[in-house]
């Protein structure tokens, strides 16, 4: 990680008037230069979407900003004649990002459909790994396959320096029985699209920056990002971002912290008719645990979740079961709340063992942490989605919706990050209850051209959020400052 100013950014912002620095100089210019909304056009032929951002004239610049404008006009990029302010004025960065993604739209659609047609479970995403890494290599990325000792993880990098490193994540695992019902085929291509756009911008404008796309397996099950974090995969990225398709638009998602447990009861088998009194019934322990957790729910705060199934309830009706196994998860809005909840369910699991004379073994999986949404990055993403015609409900309203859990939460505890969710069912920002995530209907929706259009639209905005981090050291500093302050509350 580095907070150093890119060498290509050849003027010190410390020379700018204090009030301007506080406001974020690039924002001021963009606010002035880009006052008109982009015009979207949708091609009849396919899922292409282009946006045109008409340049506005600097003649509207208020006199107070004239000295700043002159100062900005001195900023140049290495090897380029263009001035930073002129590039912004002409929306060169936005045009480049849009063009780069539109150019590969058909290819990404093909990748997305192939992933969807070949759903693979966590840590078994071999075809997806091959498809994505081959494609990224063809696009000029340096690709590390089987990264961080995980057979289906990868890291694809591009750029000419690591002064600023923008991390993006792709996921590509599916769900048992219902395939890509979480739309991870779309998450996969959103990461690729965003990385391609950033690579194009970095190379075209000769920016001292790097983009790293992380292929992160097994989000639905074990949490590949947790393994990758433990192996230091993200230690040199400045930020990391991931997009997730949904049936609504949310930039402040409340993803719950989660920890799962396998509960095993060990009893003693006996003939269920001839000598049941000689047995110790492990199924009785499982049923007691299941029932008592149900009773406990009345005393749980509505924001907490405990849910589970009996995976092994015995082998035959005429044998007193000597072994049963349950799978449970506990969830809470904050990772710091998980421990208390764990203790409550552990009392129940152990109590059922005591009551029945069984022994019990609890095996807790690595926890998924809650999402810590970086506000500064989110507002930047929102700014670009607004320009695409998408407007969000209030932050409070968004936060009030409890969602699932994700290993991206763990990553947002390590580096500043965001996890915006975009609606794949319509582009208007209206929640659609006809196809919730983890349903067959959502899997079907993830194949539709509209979902592809929505994915690329959000990818363009995510890429521009990354571009802002590269171009504006003050902004990146504010992102990191916010993260450091938030860490104290983890």
Which residue ranges make up the site for Zn ion (CB under 5 A)?
Answer: 182
- Provide the minimum distance between the beta carbon of 197 and Zn ion in the complex, in angstroms, as a whole number: 22
Q: What are phi and psi of 433, to 5 degrees?
A: -85, 0
- Provide the minimum distance between the beta carbon of 245 and Zn ion in the complex, in angstroms, as a whole number: 8
Of 366, 93, 339, 90, nearest in space to 225 by CA: 366
Judged by beta carbon, residue 115 or residue 182, the one nearer Zn ion is 182
- Provide the minimum distance between the beta carbon of 218 and Zn ion in the complex, in angstroms, as a whole number: 11
Strand partners, 180: none
Judged by beta carbon, residue 182 or residue 228, the one nearer Zn ion is 182
- Provide the minimum distance between the beta carbon of 437 and Zn ion in the complex, in angstroms, as a whole number: 6
- Provide the minimum distance between the beta carbon of 242 and Zn ion in the complex, in angstroms, as a whole number: 10
Judged by beta carbon, residue 87 or residue 182, the one nearer Zn ion is 182
Judged by beta carbon, residue 94 or residue 182, the one nearer Zn ion is 182
Judged by beta carbon, residue 229 or residue 280, the one nearer Zn ion is 229
Judged by beta carbon, residue 182 or residue 326, the one nearer Zn ion is 182
Question: DSSP labels for 211-231?
Answer: EEEEE---TTTT-HHHHHHHT
DSSP state of 256: P
Of 369, 333, 329, 364, nearest in space to 225 by CA: 369
- Provide the minimum distance between the beta carbon of 184 and Zn ion in the complex, in angstroms, as a whole number: 6
Judged by beta carbon, residue 184 or residue 452, the one nearer Zn ion is 184
- Provide the minimum distance between the beta carbon of 349 and Zn ion in the complex, in angstroms, as a whole number: 26
- Strands 142-144 and 239-241, by their bridges, are unpaired
- Give Cβ neighbours of residue 260 (< 8 Å, ≥ 6 apart): 327, 328, 329, 364, 365
Distance CA 15, CA 34 (A): 24
- Provide the minimum distance between the beta carbon of 183 and Zn ion in the complex, in angstroms, as a whole number: 7
Write out the H or E segment, with its range, that includes residue 22.
helix 18-23
Burial of 101 from C-beta contacts in 10 A (0-12 / 13-18 / 19+): buried
> Which residue is listed with tokens 């810590």?
372
Task: Give the CB-nearest residue to Zn ion.
Answer: 182
Contact predicate 413/369, CB 8 Å: yes
Tokens matching residue 327: 């799978």
Q: Give the relative orientation of helices 184-204 and 105-117 as an angle to the nearest 10 degrees.
A: 150
Judged by beta carbon, residue 20 or residue 182, the one nearer Zn ion is 182
Q: What are phi and psi of 214, to 5 degrees?
A: -100, 120
Cβ atoms within 10 Å, residue 310 = 17
- Give Cβ neighbours of residue 116 (< 8 Å, ≥ 6 apart): 179, 180, 185, 443, 446, 447
Q: How many residues does the chain have?
A: 490
- Give Cβ neighbours of residue 484 (< 8 Å, ≥ 6 apart): none
Judged by beta carbon, residue 17 or residue 404, the one nearer Zn ion is 404
Judged by beta carbon, residue 30 or residue 180, the one nearer Zn ion is 180
Judged by beta carbon, residue 182 or residue 372, the one nearer Zn ion is 182
Determine the distance from the C-alpha atom of residue 415 to the mean position of all C-alpha atoms in its chain, rounded to a whole number. 13
- Provide the minimum distance between the beta carbon of 182 and Zn ion in the complex, in angstroms, as a whole number: 3
Of 45, 47, 43, nearest in space to 113 by CA: 47
Q: Order the strands of the 323-332 sheet from edge to edge.
A: 305-312, 323-332, 257-266, 359-364
Strand partners, 308: 328
- Provide the minimum distance between the beta carbon of 174 and Zn ion in the complex, in angstroms, as a whole number: 9
Write out the H or E segment, with its range, that includes residue 26.
helix 25-33
- Provide the minimum distance between the beta carbon of 440 and Zn ion in the complex, in angstroms, as a whole number: 14
Judged by beta carbon, residue 315 or residue 440, the one nearer Zn ion is 440
- Provide the minimum distance between the beta carbon of 121 and Zn ion in the complex, in angstroms, as a whole number: 12
């Amino acid at each position: 990680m580095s907070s150093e100013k890119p060498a290509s950014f050849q003027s010190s912002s410390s020379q700018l008037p204090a009030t301007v620095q506080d406001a974020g100089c690039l924002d001021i210019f963009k606010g002035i230069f880009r006052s008109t909304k982009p015009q979207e056009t949708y091609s009849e032929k396919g899922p292409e979407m282009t946006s045109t951002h008409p340049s506005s004239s600097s003649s509207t610049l208020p006199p107070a900003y004239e000295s700043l404008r002159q100062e900005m006009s001195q900023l140049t990029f290495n090897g380029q004649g263009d001035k930073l302010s002129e590039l912004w004025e002409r929306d060169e960065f936005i045009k480049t990002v849009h063009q780069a993604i539109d150019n590969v739209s058909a290819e990404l659609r093909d990748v997305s459909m192939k992933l969807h047609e070949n759903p693979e479970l966590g840590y078994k995403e071999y075809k997806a790994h091959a498809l994505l890494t081959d494609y990224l290599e063809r696009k000029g990325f340096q690709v590390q396959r089987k990264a961080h000792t995980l057979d289906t993880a990868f890291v694809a990098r591009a750029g000419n320096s690591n002064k600023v490193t923008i991390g993006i994540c792709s996921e590509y695992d599916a769900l048992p029985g219902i395939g890509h019902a979480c739309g991870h085929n779309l998450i996969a291509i959103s990461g690729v699209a965003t990385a391609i756009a950033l690579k194009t911008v970095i190379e075209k404008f000769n920016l001292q920056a790097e983009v790293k796309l992380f292929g992160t397996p097994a989000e639905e099950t074990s949490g590949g990002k947790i393994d990758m974090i433990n192996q230091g995969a993200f230690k040199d990225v400045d930020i990391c971002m991931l997009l997730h398709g949904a049936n609504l638009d949310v930039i402040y998602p409340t993803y719950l912290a989660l920890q799962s447990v396998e509960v095993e009861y060990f009893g003693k088998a006996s003939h269920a008719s001839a000598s049941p009194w000689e047995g110790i019934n492990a199924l009785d322990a499982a049923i007691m645990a299941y029932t008592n957790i149900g009773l406990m729910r009345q005393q749980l705060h509505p924001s907490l979740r405990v849910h589970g199934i009996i995976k092994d309830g015995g082998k035959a009706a005429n044998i007193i079961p000597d072994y049963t196994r349950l799978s449970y998860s506990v969830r809470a809005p904050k990772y710091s709340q998980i421990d208390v909840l764990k203790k409550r369910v552990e009392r129940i699991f152990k109590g059922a063992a005591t009551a029945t004379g069984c022994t019990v073994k609890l095996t807790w999986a690595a926890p998924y942490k809650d999402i810590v949404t970086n506000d500064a990055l989110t507002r930047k993403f929102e700014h670009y989605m607004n320009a695409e015609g998408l407007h969000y409900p209030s932050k409070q309203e968004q936060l009030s919706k409890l969602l699932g859990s994700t290993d991206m939460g763990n990553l947002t505890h390590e580096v500043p990050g965001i996890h915006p969710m975009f609606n794949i069912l319509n582009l208007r920002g209206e929640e659609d209850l006809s196809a919730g995530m983890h349903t067959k209907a959502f899997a079907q929706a993830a194949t539709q051209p509209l979902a592809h259009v929505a994915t690329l639209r959000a990818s363009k905005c995510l890429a521009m959020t990354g571009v802002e981090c590269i171009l504006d050291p003050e902004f990146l500093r504010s992102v990191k400052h916010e993260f450091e302050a938030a860490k104290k509350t983890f």
